[in-house]
């Protein structure tokens, strides 16, 4: 289908984009890579009168080192994030997640910030951002604020970004030297995950010293598998120990039922995919 008619602006600065948002209020919508918004417009699930394109704002692109964190600009395309050496060195969980996100065309158009702002519960970046303790930098007319990942994902397709605000960058605390793996369960290549698990672990002297595990598509937002994390600490990274810990991956989850599988199937998958993700992250 063809979207309803809309006006279009492409401001050159965040300030101008914020001014356009303030002027048009509920009638405006931001567009980043358009990979999620355009299908929504074409299906006429939304019909904004004004589209504000962030594509000309150079300050929103790129990856930089900022001491204890790496900072990813909201408009940085997935393909750039996925091949960035800083990301690979200090947050390799993100590199692994981007590798299997959609197909090459979408990875070249879609943006890191757009995917996180869209907050699809099946999106591949939410769980990695959550487990790495990302901070979201959000700018509005009143200034800039930082929101912790724990508070960023509010509900299905809902984040802490206000209607008059823009996500400008995402700060990822460095996890240099941690093992990481993103295990995505799909029926066919390039599909959204039925269930996926983001795992990053620090192994010390043959045992798991620290573990962070997150679940994709096991609720209306990405979830931390805190029971699994607790159970892993102090354990050797053996098949048996990890299998026992992974049994706790369904705690606190509320998976959907759809044509790809019902909630019970997803609960079963979560235990299997968690075991695979943790063992791979630990180098097993």
Ligand X SMILES: Cc1cc2nc3c(=O)[nH]c(=O)nc-3n(C[C@H](O)[C@H](O)[C@H](O)COP(=O)(O)OP(=O)(O)OC[C@H]3O[C@@H](n4cnc5c(N)ncnc54)[C@H](O)[C@@H]3O)c2cc1C
> Which residues would be at the binding site for ligand X (CB under 6 A)?
29-37, 39, 54, 74, 101-102, 106, 110-111, 113-115, 117-118, 123-125, 161, 166-167, 192
Task: Provide the minimum distance between the beta carbon of 173 and ligand X in the complex, in angstroms, as a whole number.
Answer: 21
Q: What is the largest CA-CA distance in the chain?
A: 62
Chain residue whose CB lies nearest ligand X: 110
Closest separation in Å from C-beta 111 to ligand X: 3
Complex with ligand X: residue 256 or 284, whichever CB lies closer: 256
Task: Dump the DSSP string for 213-230.
Answer: EEEESSSSS-EE-HHHHH
CB of 247 to ligand X, least distance (A): 27
Total number of residues shown for the chain: 284
Could you give the 3-state DSSP secondary structure of residue 231? helix
Task: Decide: 174 and 251 in contact? Cβ < 8 Å.
Answer: no
Angle at 233 between CA 245 and CA 230, to 5 degrees: 60
- Backbone φ and ψ of 251, nearest 5°: -60, 130
Look up residue 277 and give its DSSP letter.
Answer: H
CB of residue 64 to ligand X, shortest distance in Å: 17
Query: Whole-number minimum distance, CB 8 to ligand X, in Å?
Result: 13
Q: To the nearest whole angstrom, how small is the minimum distance from the Cβ of residue 239 to ligand X?
A: 29
Q: Which is nearer to ligand X, 190 or 268 (CB)?
A: 190
* Dihedral Cα 20, 147, 92, 231, nearest 10 deg: -150
Exposure letters 141-173 (e unless 16+ CB within 10 A, then b): eeeeeebebeebbeeeeebbbeeebbbbbbbbe
Determine contact, residues 114/30, Cβ cutoff 8 Å. no
Rounded to 5°, angle at Cα 130 from 250 and 121: 65
| 92, 180 Cβ separation under 8 angstroms | yes
- Nearest to ligand X of 110, 214 (CB atom): 110
Closest separation between CB of residue 230 and ligand X, Å? 28
Place of tokens 């700060």: 171
Smaller CB distance to ligand X: residue 62 or 236?
A: 62
């Amino acid at each position: 289908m063809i979207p309803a008619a809309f006006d279009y602006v492409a401001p050159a600065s965040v300030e101008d984009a914020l001014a356009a948002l303030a002027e048009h209020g509920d009638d405006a919508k931001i567009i980043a890579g358009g990979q999620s918004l355009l299908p929504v417009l074409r299906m006429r699930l939304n019909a904004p009168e004004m589209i504000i394109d962030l594509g000309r704002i150079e300050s929103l692109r790129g990856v930089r080192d900022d001491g204890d964190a790496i900072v990813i600009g909201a408009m940085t395309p997935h393909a750039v994030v996925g091949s960035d050496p800083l990301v690979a060195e200090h947050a390799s969980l993100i590199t692994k997640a981007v590798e299997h996100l959609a197909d090459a065309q979408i990875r070249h158009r879609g943006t890191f910030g757009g995917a996180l702002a869209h907050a699809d519960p099946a999106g591949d970046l939410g769980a990695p951002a959550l487990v790495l303790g990302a901070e979201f930098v959000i700018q509005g007319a009143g200034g800039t604020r930082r929101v912790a990942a724990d508070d960023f994902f509010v509900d299905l397709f809902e984040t802490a970004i206000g209607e008059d605000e823009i996500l400008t960058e995402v700060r990822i605390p460095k996890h240099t030297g941690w093992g990481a793996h993103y295990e995505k369960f799909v029926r066919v290549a390039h599909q959204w995950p039925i269930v996926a698990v983001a795992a990053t672990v620090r192994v010390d002297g043959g045992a798991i010293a620290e573990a962070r595990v997150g679940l994709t598509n096991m609720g209306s937002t990405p979830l931390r598998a805190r029971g699994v994390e607790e159970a892993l600490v102090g354990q050797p990274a053996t098949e048996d120990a990890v299998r026992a810990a992974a049994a706790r991956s369904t705690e606190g989850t509320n998976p959907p039922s759809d044509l790809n599988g019902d909630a019970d199937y997803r609960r079963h998958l979560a235990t299997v995919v968690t075991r695979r993700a943790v063992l791979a992250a630990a180098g097993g």
